[in-house]
Amino acid sequence: MERLIIIGHGSPLKGANNLDIIGRLLHRALHDGCKKDCVSVAYLQFGRPDLMECIRTAVDGGARKVIIHPYFLTSGMHVTKDIPMIIEEAKRLYPDVEFLYTEPLGFHERLVEIIKDRIKGHLRPQEIEERSFEIIEEESEMGNIPFEEKEIIKRVVHATADPEFLNNMVISSEAIKTGIEAIRAGRDILVDVEMVRAGIPERFLREFGIKVHCYINDEDVIRISETTGRTRAEIAMEKALNENNNIGIIAVGNAPTALLKVIEFLNRSSVNSSTSAFSLQPLVIGVPVGFVKALESKVLLSAQGFPFITNLSRKGGSAVAVATVNALLKCASAPRGEAEAEKEEI
């Protein structure tokens, strides 16, 4: 049985003795899914356990090979004298155990990359976002994706740190055009939960004179839900769609029942076109998250004839809905000549 011990210097500042984080990350990298204590951490000074305690625990647990890695940059006195002395004592106490002592971090080309990352960590917020988008493009195959679609997908991946969305986003042919035209025409946005509304910047709303509506906490919505057993999300959507004929974008990030109600309402309106509340079809962004009806509602949305943006996965959520809406707002806000030029560059 083999055990790895990482030993650091230790600090009088207790919060700095957090080498266990590195231990967990290394354990996952070496033995993903393993539940055993294959990797331990120790401190030379100021922290517990110390190296000899850690060795004793490993041997008592059945280890017959102990690898010790000094979490130090260079080969100073601690690395060349103090730690080796402890290891020699351990060899004397446990002659049947094999001890291996590795080099410190030292001069390695990957450390240069780490320093570069730390420098980039001090970028301004806009620069951080731009660099994040660059990383997403560098690590993904997005060359043939149209410009506006790419903007949406990048923002979703950025918001979730989940590259899986690169492969499961579905955007209908008229979706982006419909969304941008609705924004530029000052048509309102309907959302299923307050978290989605909170994520949409006021500066864009002011620029286009847009309001964001969320009826889920309305008193009559709560009352109807309590008396009928229906979800507040679907009741709120039904109320909004019946009362407001200026909705240009519907964004559902949380409740599958809300998305199902939207699909039902829009299909009913298209059949009864003479009495439809909408002179122009709204864009539906349907990305609810969950295990019950979430994927099913999105599959149903992907089969509709009206404009939609969705993802075919259980994943989703308010952050995905917000990222999609904000990408459309940013595209609508960009000067039209500039947007066209960016498209031609791709």
Q: Closest Cα partner for 66 from 35, 95, 28, 107?
A: 95
The tally of domains found in the chain comes to: 2
Please count the CA atoms within 13 angstroms of the CA of 325 that sit on its side-chain side.
32
Going by C-beta distance under 8 Å and a sequence separation of 6 or more, which residues neighbour residue 251?
Answer: 189, 190, 191, 192, 196, 285, 321, 322, 324, 325
What's the pLDDT at 124?
64
| Assigned domain for 85 exists | yes
Which of 101, 130, 163 lies at the terminal end of a domain, its last residue? 101
Per-residue pLDDT of the chain in tens (346 residues, 90 and over written 9)? 889 999 999 998 877 888 888 888 888 888 887 878 889 999 999 888 999 999 999 999 999 999 999 999 888 899 999 999 999 999 999 999 999 999 998 887 788 888 877 776 666 666 666 677 777 777 777 667 788 888 899 899 988 989 889 889 999 999 999 999 999 999 999 999 999 999 999 988 999 999 999 999 999 999 999 999 999 999 999 999 999 889 999 999 999 999 999 999 999 876 555 444 555 789 999 999 999 999 999 999 999 999 999 999 999 999 999 999 999 999 998 775 444 444 444 3
User: Which tokens is 217 given?
Assistant: 């906490």
Which of 101, 136, 166 lies at the terminal end of a domain, its last residue? 101
Looking at the structure, do residues 176 and 88 belong to the same domain, yes or no?
no
Looking at the structure, do residues 155 and 72 belong to the same domain, yes or no?
no
Looking at the structure, do residues 236 and 162 belong to the same domain, yes or no?
yes
Looking at the structure, do residues 31 and 89 belong to the same domain, yes or no?
yes
| Assigned domain for 256 exists | yes
pTM for the complete prediction?
0.67
Looking at the structure, do residues 21 and 78 belong to the same domain, yes or no?
yes
| Assigned domain for 139 exists | no
What's the pLDDT at 145?
78
| Assigned domain for 125 exists | no
What's the CA gap between 170 and 112, in Å, rounded?
A: 39
Looking at the structure, do residues 327 and 178 belong to the same domain, yes or no?
yes
The total of other beta-carbon atoms located within 10 Å of residue 66's CB is 24
3-state secondary structure of 319: helix
Looking at the structure, do residues 76 and 188 belong to the same domain, yes or no?
no
Please give the residue range of the domain that contains residue 203.
Answer: 145-345
What's the pLDDT at 95?
94
CATH of the domain at 24: 3.40.50.1400
Choose the catalytic residue: 9, 69, 78, 158. 158
| Assigned domain for 138 exists | no
Looking at the structure, do residues 90 and 8 belong to the same domain, yes or no?
yes
What's the pLDDT at 275?
42
| Assigned domain for 242 exists | yes
Going by C-beta distance under 8 Å and a sequence separation of 6 or more, which residues neighbour residue 10?
Answer: 17, 43, 44, 45, 46, 47
What's the pLDDT at 148?
85
The DSSP secondary-structure symbol of 79 reads I
What's the pLDDT at 343?
46
Looking at the structure, do residues 210 and 337 belong to the same domain, yes or no?
yes
Looking at the structure, do residues 227 and 283 belong to the same domain, yes or no?
yes
What's the pLDDT at 301?
96
What's the pLDDT at 277?
56
Look up 158 and say whether it is catalytic.
yes
| Assigned domain for 220 exists | yes
